[in-house]
Amino acid sequence: MFCRRASSFDAEGRYILWNKKYAELYGATAHLFKPGRKFADTLRIGVAAGSYPEAVGREEEWLSRRLDRLFHPGGRHEQKLADGRVILIEEQLTSDGGVIGLRVDITELKQREESFRLLFENNPVPMVVCALDDEKILAANDAAVSHYGYARPDFEHMGIRNLQASETEAPWAREPSGDENGARVWKHVKADGTPIDVAIYSRHLTHDNRPAMLLALIDITERKRAEARLAFMSQHDSLTGLPNRAMLRDRLGGLLAGSRRGGQKVAVMCIDLDNFKSINDALGHDVGDKLLGDVASRLRSSLRDEDCLARVGANEFVVIQQDVERPEDVVMLAKRLLEAVGGRFLIEGHAVIVSASIGIALAPGDGDDADKLLKNADLALSRTKAHARGTYSFFEPAMDARAQARRQMEVDLRAAIDERILRPHYQPLIDLASGRITGFEALVRWPHPTRGMIPPSEFIPVAEETGLINIIGGNILRHACNEAALWPNDISLAVNLSPLQFRTGNLLSVVMEALNQSGLPARRLELEITETLLMENSEHILATLHALRALGVRMSMDDFGTGYSSLSYLRSFPIDKIKVDRSFVRDLAGNKDAQAIMRAIIGLGRGLGVKVTAEGIETVDELACLRQEGCHEGQGFLFSHARPQRDILEMLERQKAQLVA
Ligand code: C2E
Ligand code: CA
Ligand code: CA
């Protein structure tokens, strides 16, 4: 609030009237104010007393200017007082030649202006003051001058629009953008031509009596760039630069919405490189990464611009083909993609040959949302990989049903493990020369509450896929060791091991613990492994096998003849027993070829000092044949199915009784 302070003088400059507030203002000389006394005299006393800091050192000049102003009034002027106050003085002539003076204390206003000036000039944020009418820059702080790179005199004469890259309105004309809370975002150009993104905050103010805008200009170029990089990274695969799964889903979702309106079909293809893992393992990750890059560009160049290619897994790509009219269009593209990937790649001097498998789902028939289509294309891919690697297959509804059944199986299997329902049954192994039981093979059994006994051929693959095989395998081993410890001392126990149990790394301790806990001597335990395990040719697996053997445990080769049957692995690891697969036993009686093979295997075993066991003996004829060929041991329904421990103990009792008798 301004307080009015008034005084009046006659034509000779003598005091006529003054109010109390006027007297307060000039407290030091107020006692001199008398009607008839000359203003010039009190003023001179005041100057001498130092009441007017502006007069110090140039007292006469100041006095004469002040008195000159008094008698030629018509404007305003400011006056500083010794106590720091600033007074605005406005004087007017009266009709009789006298003067009326009005004074306003503007100290606070001046202080505000001063602190604003400091805040403006020293602010690290670039700021300018801009006239509202002609949009000229009226003032710029140091930060603005140095950030934009113009010389100050040039800068302070430019129009604000000269900074703008392309926009033609004044910066305050635009609506603030939502994500910059209250700021407007503009493109500006620096003196050296560099374009920058600027967030502009603005306030109205009066500058030198002109309506103006104060603009804070915050350079957000780097932040925008970083945001754009992040946005790109969150939607793309860093190795190939292709869209990732998140972006693929978005695109597919958008396309499906469009195609529903237009009635076109959309094909989704899941592409998987069949042998990528082995290439990666053999030639290293650098080669693997380059291969993926090359595969990506070959796939890309086989596509039309409007088709989308994404990388969704280590060696998995997805193609979205738009505007499909007939399934033949999809087949043609699938073939083209297989051909593109199927050729030779030359990477760092290595000639690499890859093949791919493709699974295809078509919208709208196979699903009308992105997730469903991707899932169904993936199911089709699993089918291709299982039955026809290197080719393509289309999704069929039966696959979905199978996949659902598999999921249900997994849920039930977990419950069965928790409830300890899985138990071993035991099938005897017979010494063919004496007809005596030499041991038993533990075979897992799952009595299902509604489905009856589920065969291992159905759930072991699910257990292997889900990793549950480690828990199941460990449980069966412990359980079987405990029960076998109750058998006579010369009866052995055979337990099947899945290759997956070798990968987790703790198989050795699982076996040692089972033996320790049960008290079963290691020499009575046989572990059955398959050819595929040795085909992996892994240091870790071989080391585990040797460590197991060092415990005294024996090793059997299961399902002999069904795998790759490359006999060289028999040299890589010493095997104690070969179990010849049932398929070689089946037609033994009437089939000369089958007999010749069996004879050769038995001969091989004899040569290597390895026991040969025939699996799946169902008839006496088969048994007779095997005996004749000199096969050591047999197993099969002819002797017994796998039975629970209760029956086994009885069986062993009978054998003991026969022996005694
Ligand atoms: P396998 O190791 O070859 O086991 C022999 C399979 O042949 C058993 O089937 C057995 O019941 C069956 N078999 C025995 N004699 C005859 C016969 O005379 N004729 C016919 N047709 N079949 C006969 P099962 O119990 O269904 O087991 C199937 C496979 O499941 C096993 O084949 C084995 O690979 C796997 N398996 C069973 N239990 C386990 C286990 O505890 N752990 C692991 N990892 N795999 C297991
Ligand atoms: Ca077996
Ligand atoms: Ca077998």
Q: In this predicted structure, what is the pLDDT of residue 1?
A: 36
Q: 125-129, 324-328, 448-452, 485-489: which has the minimum mean pLDDT?
A: 324-328
Going by C-beta distance under 8 Å and a sequence separation of 6 or more, which residues neighbour residue 420? 475
| C-alpha 559 – ligand 2 centre gap (Å) | 7
Check pLDDT > 60 for residue 128: yes
CA distance 327 to 137: 66
Ramachandran region, residue 392 (left: φ > 0; alpha: ψ -120 to 50; beta: rest): beta
Residue nearest to atom 23 of ligand 1 (CA): 616
Q: Is the CB of 455 under 6 A from ligand 1?
A: yes
| Residue recorded with tokens 């795998």 | 563
Q: Report the candidate in 653, 572, 585, 593 with the shortest Cα–Cα distance to residue 625.
A: 585
Residue nearest to atom 20 of ligand 1 (CA): 616
Which amino acid, 367?
G
Q: Residues for the chain: how many in total?
A: 661
pLDDT category at 652 given cuts 50, 70, 90 is very high
| Probe residue for ligand 1, chosen from 496, 619, 623 as the CB with the greatest number of ligand atoms within 8 Å | 496
Whether the ω angle into residue 364 lies within 30 degrees of 0, i.e. cis, is yes
* Closest approach atom of ligand 1 to CA 638: 18
Residue nearest to atom 30 of ligand 1 (CA): 456
Q: Is the CB of 474 under 6 A from ligand 1?
A: no
If one compares 271 and 350, the residue with the highest pLDDT of the two is 271
| Residue recorded with tokens 């692995």 | 569
Q: Are strands 423-431 and 437-448 parallel, antiparallel or unpaired?
A: antiparallel
pLDDT category at 181 given cuts 50, 70, 90 is low
3-state DSSP of 486-537: CCCCCCEEEEECCHHHHHCCCHHHHHHHHHHHHCCCHHHEEEEECHHHHHCC
* Closest approach atom of ligand 1 to CA 455: 26
User: In which element (H, E) is residue 465 found?
Assistant: helix 456-466
Check pLDDT > 60 for residue 650: yes
Check pLDDT > 60 for residue 3: no
Q: In this predicted structure, what is the pLDDT of residue 263?
A: 76
CA distance 294 to 299: 9
The whole model's pTM is what?
0.56
Q: In this predicted structure, what is the pLDDT of residue 636?
A: 97
Q: Report the candidate in 602, 621, 620, 619 with the shortest Cα–Cα distance to residue 610.
A: 602
Q: Report the candidate in 52, 62, 113 with the shortest Cα–Cα distance to residue 84.
A: 52
Check pLDDT > 70 for residue 246: yes
Average confidence (pLDDT) over 133-159: 92
| C-alpha 443 – ligand 3 centre gap (Å) | 11
Q: 42-56, 59-73, 172-186, 248-262: which has the minimum mean pLDDT?
A: 172-186
| C-alpha 580 – ligand 3 centre gap (Å) | 7
Q: How far apart are the first and last CA of the chain?
A: 128
The token duo for 65 is 């200017």
pLDDT category at 566 given cuts 50, 70, 90 is low
Residue nearest to atom 41 of ligand 1 (CA): 444
CA distance 316 to 356: 9
63 close to 44: Cβ distance less than 8 angstroms: yes
| C-alpha 496 – ligand 3 centre gap (Å) | 9
Residue nearest to atom 13 of ligand 1 (CA): 616
Whether the CA torsion 106, 108, 112, 114 is positive or negative: it is positive
Check pLDDT > 90 for residue 309: yes
Q: What percent of the chain has pLDDT over 70?
A: 97
Q: Report the candidate in 392, 431, 342, 496 with the shortest Cα–Cα distance to residue 631.
A: 431
549 close to 577: Cβ distance less than 8 angstroms: no
If one compares 497 and 118, the residue with the highest pLDDT of the two is 497
Q: Report the candidate in 68, 87, 71 with the shortest Cα–Cα distance to residue 24.
A: 87
> Which ligand number lies closest to the CA of residue 476?
1
Going by C-beta distance under 8 Å and a sequence separation of 6 or more, which residues neighbour residue 111? none
Q: Is the CB of 605 under 6 A from ligand 1?
A: no
| C-alpha 557 – ligand 3 centre gap (Å) | 9
| C-alpha 444 – ligand 1 centre gap (Å) | 8
94 close to 9: Cβ distance less than 8 angstroms: no
Q: Is the CB of 463 under 6 A from ligand 1?
A: no
pLDDT category at 2 given cuts 50, 70, 90 is very low
CA distance 90 to 69: 10
Q: Is the CB of 529 under 6 A from ligand 1?
A: no
113 close to 84: Cβ distance less than 8 angstroms: no
The token duo for 373 is 């289509």
Which amino acid, 536?
E
User: In which element (H, E) is residue 303 found?
Assistant: none
| C-alpha 614 – ligand 3 centre gap (Å) | 9
DSSP class of residue 608 equals H
Q: Is the CB of 642 under 6 A from ligand 1?
A: yes
123 close to 143: Cβ distance less than 8 angstroms: yes
User: In which element (H, E) is residue 220 found?
Assistant: none
308 close to 320: Cβ distance less than 8 angstroms: yes
> Which ligand number lies closest to the CA of residue 426?
1
| C-alpha 493 – ligand 2 centre gap (Å) | 11
For the segment 390-405, what is each residue's pLDDT rounded down to a tens digit? 999 999 888 777 777 8
Residue nearest to atom 19 of ligand 1 (CA): 616
Which amino acid, 169?
E
CA distance 428 to 54: 120
Q: Report the candidate in 340, 331, 271 with the shortest Cα–Cα distance to residue 301.
A: 340
Whether the CA torsion 179, 185, 187, 192 is positive or negative: it is negative
